[in-house]
Amino acid sequence: MAKHFVEISVPTSMYPLHARYYQPSGPGNNRVVLIQSGIGFPQHFYGSFSRHLKEHGFAVYTYNYMGIGSAISKSRSNRISLQTWAQVDFPAITNYIKTQHPNSKLFLIGHSFGGHLIGLSPAYKEYSGFITVGTQFSSVKSYKGVYKIYTFFIFNFVIPICNILLGYFPAKSLKLGENLPKHVAKDWRYCLNHDFGVLALTKMVGDYYQENTNNIILVSIEDDWMSPKKTVDKLAARGFIRAKKIRKHITLAQTNNEPIGHANIFKSKFKLNLWPFFIEWLNFLNDANKD
């Protein structure tokens, strides 16, 4: 089977990032999209979606955060945290893309934590607009019923015990994505137990949420228990205070009641009914930033 992408290695101040470049079909539209993953999601999860964007003329990049989706020694893994992803990974991939496409407009689609990175790094300044999917202002307190119990148990018992006994969080065994480096899991636990959620990391890396004045489309999904609509609304109101915000809420009526959840919107079964929205939104962001 022919590959639709080129494997690339992006240098950083720590360890190289494993990335993929999807060259646009035809002449392209002089626009580049970076897809930033949710915690524990490897870049190949977004492969079909990336191919769809490239078929519509976009150059597309995906990458694995350090410690995700590839073998890495325990000693090296112990140096990696969510702060690393904000201060090293995101700036490095952004600088690489900017160097490769100096005359193109850059846009970013952030899934879950991937959307938060635009508020945790000055690298966001290189982009002309953003789409976040399932990016929320939430903590354990935000969840209800069985989800609250489940989340509390994972983050306050399973993660600490696994970090002590194994030196990492075996998320793959629990069907929670790729295994996580010790300090990534620890930071994630810190955020979920903090009233400010991921925004608590701004105390360590700086607050770039509030200075962003660009166009941001924030997407929530009806059956996404990890990012309920109210938590995305809260992020729009209390996080990206100065941004030009557009809220979009996907309902199951738009998929004939086919479940979507936190991540399935990027799967090809939604190519016909949901993916056209992303092309529409990217075109809107481009038009909103015309010189």
pLDDT tens digits, residue range 32-45?
A: 999 999 999 999 99
Segment 96-116, tens digit of pLDDT: 999 999 999 999 999 999 999
pLDDT at 21 over 90: yes
Classify the phi-psi angles of 175: left when phi > 0, otherwise alpha if psi is within -120 to 50, otherwise beta.
left
Position 79 scores a pLDDT of 87
CA gap 130, 44 in Å, rounded: 21
**Who has greater pLDDT, 28 or 1?**
28
- What are the chain's domains? 6-137+206-288 (3.40.50.1820)
State the pLDDT at residue 73.
52
Question: What is the token pair recorded at 104?
Answer: 């193109």
Residue 29 pLDDT grade (very low, low, confident, very high; cuts 50, 70, 90): confident
- Provide CB contacts within 8 A for 183, sequence distance 6+: 78, 79, 80, 81, 82
291, pLDDT greater than 70: no
CB 26 within 8 A of CB 39: no
pTM to 2 decimal places: 0.95
In the predicted model, what is the mean pLDDT of the chain?
Answer: 93
For 104, residues 6+ apart whose C-beta sits below 8 A from its C-beta are 30, 31, 32, 59
CA 85 distance to own-chain centroid = 11
3-state SS class at 173: helix
Average pLDDT over residues 226-251: 96
Residue with tokens 């995101």: 90
The pLDDT value recorded for residue 2 is 64
Report the distance separating Cα 55 and Cα 284, nearest Å.
Answer: 18
Q: How many other C-beta atoms can be found within 10 angstroms of the C-beta atom of residue 102?
A: 7
